[in-house]
Chain A
Amino acid sequence: MKYKSQKVAYWFFALCMLLFSLQIVYGFIMGFARIGMDGLHEWIPFNTARAVHTNLLVIWLLTGFMGAAYYIIPEEAQRELVSVKWAYIQLISLAIVGVLAITGYHFNIWEGRKFLEIPRELDYLVVANVLLFLGIILTTLFKGKRQTTTALVLTMGLVFAALLYLPGMIWFDSQVTDSFFRWWVVHLWVEGVWELIMGGILAFLLIKLTGVDREVIEKWLYVIVGLTFLSGVLGTGHHYYYIGVNKIWLVVGGIFSALEPLAFLAMALFAVYMYRKGEKNHPNKIALFWTIGAAIVSFIGAGLLGFAHTLPQTNLYTHGTLVTAMHAHYAFWGAYAMIVLAIISYVMPNITGRKRYDHINGHLAFWLSNIGMLGMVVAMGVAGVVQVYLERRLGMDFMVAQEEVKIHFVVMLINASLFTTGIGLYIYEFIKYGRPTDEALEEELDEEQVLVN
């Protein structure tokens, strides 16, 4: 740690861990409901569990991105954050908005729009919170000694993410128009600007972990995020195939979303190549695993599994089935959850001063969670394909087909237990690190020297 204010990141990451744990709990509630064990229905019906599960995901990932920005920006701009006090206020207000939203979902207070369930009244608080966050980040960058490409890409991602939240706040009488602009938020976040954030964090980690020249890494970062927008923006069309808008999206969405895996492939190749090219041997092996893992799994989850059902001819049958849930789980895990876990793994030794770089629990956490998630995705994938065949080819009733795929959710729950064990170990290690300390400021020098040796 080079700057005292970077310690703020710790509390964002701690909130991440808490929200992630809760997300998993609600995931289990949904999984058990799918196999007929819905004893909590009276208090937590499926739609509540689902809204909480997906919203917690969004909130903990955003919290992680914010924490990452609070750690990365001072180091990139070579100065302290302009205000630590306001950063804490921002964190507390973010937690309050999250708690209010999630509590409301248990009392039928929501907007009922997939992924954007937060009621409009709370949307304004979200906007105020994000503006405060961006104010701190942008002012720090502006007053900094240097403006790097890594910081620029990360900040652009965060600014665009904030701007793109706005179309989701507009009311439309038509369900079709509503859905159209809802995807401006959801798709352009997940398959657009969030990739900028991911790219920024990935570039920062690669610079730190591999020792490859910043200029080389940042040059390729531009190419990757360029590919992301080139394919991802018009790729939004794959959500418009069958929701009641013009057929032109079948062509545009089909072509450009088929190109989307290229950006993820480039990211995976980039990470692996930089790792192999790097001559410096950073001791933080756990962070390295999560970093390279994020680049590879995001290619498989977001790139390949997305491609599997993105062409209009395939999507005609898979639209609105568990195939989407399968793709979403592996894409979010690889692209965003893993990169947040990577930056946390990198940051924790630096801000606590405890150089627990290469420990068995860390490796177990990585492998158990990854194997567990892969198992869950395979189970959901099989359930999805069976559902498509039974419902859309054989014309079976929805609930009859659901009975047939029940067994795959039992398999999913077994794998989810493995995943949870891995995440449990990760959180245990996080807690074991302890709190950040000013003493860690001195130790950054040692880390730089380790890198050179």
Chain B
Amino acid sequence: MLSKSQARAFFFGGTAVTFLIFIGLTIYSLAPGNDQTNHELITDQVVKGKHLWEANNCMGCHSILGEGGYYAPELTKVVERRGAPLIKAILQSPVPWAPNGRKMVAYEMSEEEAEALVAYFNWIGGIDLNGFEKIVSPLAKDKK
């Protein structure tokens, strides 16, 4: 029968081993050779777009890379789907954009801010998502 000291060794030993493997895999998957994100294409404008994305908590409604609020559409590859002019118009609109009655906050962004967010979406759109980019809803429509 298992003793308490063996159970303790299982806990501490198992924890140490799995944490070490986890750290190793993290280093491996974030190594430049394994980059799937076109990291070199992250310009100042893309970074500004990410700042705006976070400052306005866009993820609270939308999702990106499949992560977010599930209240508004997934925005991975949104530029390919909707085009930059419409996206910019929505971001700069003084009245809430409300497709099908579900309202978005009217952010009234400047041209420069809207451009930065489009650059951010463009960079996101180029990421290799291990097949998810072909499944996520709006792209499934494109496949037809």
Do A and B interact?
A: yes
Hey, which bits of chain A sit against chain B, CB under 8 A?
A: 30, 33-34, 36, 38, 41, 45-48, 50-51, 105, 108, 110-114, 117, 149, 173-180, 215, 218-220, 222-223, 225-227, 229-230, 233-234, 236-237, 240-250, 252, 316-317, 319-322, 324-325, 391-393, 395-403
- Rounded to whole angstroms, the CA-CA distance of A177 and B68 in the bound complex is 16
Question: B37 and A397: CB pair below 8 A?
Answer: no
Do B14 and A230 have beta carbons less than 8 Å apart?
yes
In the complex the two chains form, is B131's CB within 8 Å of A242's CB? yes
How many angstroms between the C-alpha atoms of A398 and B81 in the bound complex? 13
User: With an 8 A cutoff between CB atoms, is B63 at the interface?
Assistant: yes
Q: Please state if B70 and A325 are interface contacts (CB–CB under 8 Å).
A: yes
- Which of chain A's residues have a CB closer than 8 A to the CB of B34? 245-246
Task: Give the residues in chain A near B101, CB-CB below 8 Å.
Answer: 36
Q: Give how many B residues have a beta carbon under 8 Å from the other chain's beta carbons.
A: 70
Find out whether the CB atom of A249 lies under 8 angstroms from the CB atom of B71.
Answer: no
Scan residues 26-57 of chain B and give those whose CB is less than 8 A from a CB of chain A: 26, 28-30, 34, 36-37, 39, 42, 46-47, 50, 53-57
Whole-angstrom CA separation of A399 from B138 in the bound complex: 11
Docked CA distance A227–B14 (Å): 8
Taking CB as reference atom, which chain B residue is nearest A225? Answer: B11
Q: Please count the residue pairs between chain A and chain B whose beta carbons lie under 8 angstroms apart in the complex.
A: 211
Q: Who on chain A is nearest to B123 by CB?
A: A175
Interchain CB contact under 8 A, B10 and A222: yes
Answer whether A175 and B130 are a contact pair too, CB < 8 Å, given A246-B28, A397-B137.
no
Residues of A near B66 (CB, < 8 A) are: 242-243, 319-320
Q: How far is the CA of A322 from the CA of B54 in the complex (A)?
A: 22
Q: Is the CB of B96 within 8 A of A46?
A: no
Whether A34 pairs with B71 at a CB distance below 8 angstroms is yes
Q: Which B residues have a C-beta under 8 Å from some C-beta of A?
A: 2-4, 7-8, 10-11, 14-15, 18-19, 21-22, 25-26, 28-30, 34, 36-37, 39, 42, 46-47, 50, 53-61, 63-74, 96, 99-103, 105, 120, 124, 127-132, 135-138, 140-141, 143-144
Which 7 pairs, one residue from A and one from B, show the smallest C-beta to C-beta distance?
A47-B60, A320-B66, A242-B132, A112-B54, A226-B11, A222-B7, A112-B57
Taking the closest CB of chain B, its distance from the CB of A295, in whole angstroms, is 18
Q: CB < 8 Å: which of A173, A223, A244, A397 contacts B127? A: A244
In Å, the complex CA distance between A236 and B23 comes to 12
Residue of A175, A242, A243, A321 contacting most chain B CB atoms (<10 Å): A175
Contact call A399/B99, Cβ cutoff below 8 A: yes
In the complex, the answer to whether A175 meets B65 with C-beta atoms within 8 Å is yes
Do A244 and B129 touch (CB < 8 A)? Answer: yes
Which B residues touch A401, using CB under 8 A? Answer: 137
Chain B nearest CB: distance from A342 CB in Å?
A: 23
What separation, in Å, do the CA atoms of A284 and B128 have in the docked complex? 55
- Residues A112 and B70 in contact in the complex (CB < 8 Å), given A174-B37, A233-B18: no
Q: Verify A226–B15 contact, CB threshold 8 A.
A: yes
* Residues A395 and B141 in contact, CB atoms below 8 Å apart: yes
B24 to chain A, nearest CB (A): 11
Q: How far is the CA of A397 from the CA of B19 in the complex (A)?
A: 41
- Contact partner, B71, options A46, A244, A393, A400, Cβ 8 Å: A46
In angstroms, Cα B25 to Cα A325, docked, is 28
A192 to chain B minimum Cβ distance, whole angstroms, is 10
